[in-house]
Amino acid sequence: MTDTGRGQGMTPENTIFVSLSFEGPDPRYSLAGGLGTRVSEFTETLAQMGYETHLIFIGDPNEAPEERRVDGRLILKRWSQWISRYYPNGVYDGEEHKLYDYNETVPQHIRTQIVAPAVAAGKMVVIIGEDWQTAEAICRISDDLNWFGLRDKALLMWNNNSLMSMHRINWGRLNYVSAITTVSRYMKHRMWDWHINPLVIPNGIPSRLMQPVESDPVAQLREVMTGGSTNAQFLFKIGRFDPDKRWVMAMEAAARLKYTGHPMKMIIRGGMEPHGGEVLSRARHLGLTVRDVEAKRPSPAECIQLLRDAGEADVYNLRFFVPEEFVRYCYAGADATLANSGHEPFGLVGLEVMAAGGIAFTGSTGEDYVVSFENAVALETDDPDEIVGYLTHLGRHPEDRDKIRRSGQRTACEFRWEAVIENLIGKLEYLGRKQSLIN
């Protein structure tokens, strides 16, 4: 066995990454929210940077158990497919059964199929678990590697993206066997309540989102939404129908704009969550005309035509899978994208809006990257009039709008996954030196 890692830090030649997550890149089954986006883009970027990367997730039961991408460096491993066949409604359908299988079978696979061969080749392995579902697996992996004399050849890390089910985690055990990280200073402070002081490693966005958005489709979309009026407001909101996302606040702001003489149209894209019914009912109660727009996987150009053909409304509720490029048209064309969450661990939507040259209205929790009225607008309250007031100000001060759009793009560039991974590597090398894995 050769030792290629101790003297030169972490490189693609001496380091293998393993990502553990329930969510993953399968769009119809595993890509349920921000976590699926995070692990998909994080692991793909690692592989593009030259690292052998394994992603073990609860995959679509109808896809191949193992799939290789990025010239074979990204290995997708769809776990618990035999259980998922009994639960066709997505990654969290039958969650407890899948969790039991994951905890029982993943640790041995990692030891025998990844860590042992890597150690024989003189390589180190970094294993990163995501969210509460993988906390027990990380603990068992540590125990298993320790029993077989391999624990000192692997770095174990567990990353927290949300506050969900934190009561189910054995914090003393997890903190003993792994380094604990999270995605923002806000989350770091929230975790102090559990007597945990995690390292902060932010989320990122893929470099492709830094490409300029096509101007002609954006202009067409604005024409549809504003009728060419310079006084009309075009608003956009996308995300799960969750009370934390403050959908009702957004609807109340839209209604106040409408009834104070400010022409307004809004595009929304929510999820399948029950809160969506409450949101749309509230919108109608406020006097907003809501029109559902339905289609089957339209192209970006077809999305614009669907809105053109939908007829007059205040709120257009998109009830179909929205192409990424059309979402970027909305980010770039809207007067504001309302990413106004009351509790947001990080805020990927805000960064994606910035990358497209848009104006994000964010909350004031995990969005560490926001400097209000410099690169975005940070909302300090749950008062809809705060949204209305800031929109009115920006309408009167186009120079502020232009500044926010330009500064936002510069900020987004600093949070590309490549830059975030360089940050991660630096912290992993610090942890590796503590473990005497790296000199």
pLDDT tens by residue, 365-422? 999 999 999 999 999 999 999 999 999 999 999 999 999 999 999 999 999 999 999 9
Identify the domain containing residue 117 by its residue range: 15-204+417-434
Residue 305 lies in a domain: yes
Nearest residue to 54 (alpha-carbon basis) of 68, 64, 65, 38: 68
Q: How many domains does the chain have?
A: 2
User: pLDDT by residue (tens digit) across 337-357?
Assistant: 999 999 999 999 999 999 999
- The Cα–Cα gap between 77 and 80 comes to 10
Residue 152 lies in a domain: yes
Residue 76 lies in a domain: yes
User: pLDDT by residue (tens digit) across 26-68?
Assistant: 988 999 888 999 999 999 999 999 999 999 999 999 999 999 9
The yes-or-no verdict on residue 4 having pLDDT over 50 is: no
Residue 215 lies in a domain: yes
User: pLDDT by residue (tens digit) across 94-149?
Assistant: 999 999 999 999 999 999 999 999 999 999 999 999 999 999 999 999 999 999 99
| Residue 193 sits in the same domain as residue 213 | no
| Residue 96 sits in the same domain as residue 148 | yes
| Residue 290 sits in the same domain as residue 329 | yes
Residue 2: pLDDT band (50, 70, 90) is: very low
User: pLDDT by residue (tens digit) across 248-292?
Assistant: 999 999 999 999 988 999 999 998 899 999 999 999 999 999 999
Residue 167 lies in a domain: yes
Residue 304 lies in a domain: yes
> In the prediction, which pLDDT does 3 show?
52
| Residue 145 sits in the same domain as residue 251 | no
pLDDT mean over 67-75: 98
Q: What is the DSSP string of 154-179?
A: EEEEEEE---TTGGGS-HHHHHHHSE
> In the prediction, which pLDDT does 228 show?
84
> For the chain, how are helix, strand and coil distributed in percent, rounded to 5?
45, 20, 35
| Residue 226 sits in the same domain as residue 183 | no
| Residue 314 sits in the same domain as residue 251 | yes
> In the prediction, which pLDDT does 7 show?
55
What CATH number did the domain enclosing 20 receive? 3.40.50.2000
| Residue 294 sits in the same domain as residue 153 | no
For 95, residues 6+ apart whose C-beta sits below 8 A from its C-beta are 22, 133
| Residue 404 sits in the same domain as residue 428 | no
Residue 9 lies in a domain: no
| Residue 83 sits in the same domain as residue 176 | yes
| Residue 168 sits in the same domain as residue 36 | yes
- CA-to-CA dists, residue 106 to 88, 122, 207, angstroms: 22, 23, 31
> In the prediction, which pLDDT does 50 show?
98
| Residue 308 sits in the same domain as residue 182 | no
Residue 2 lies in a domain: no
| Residue 138 sits in the same domain as residue 256 | no
User: pLDDT by residue (tens digit) across 10-26?
Assistant: 999 999 999 999 999 99
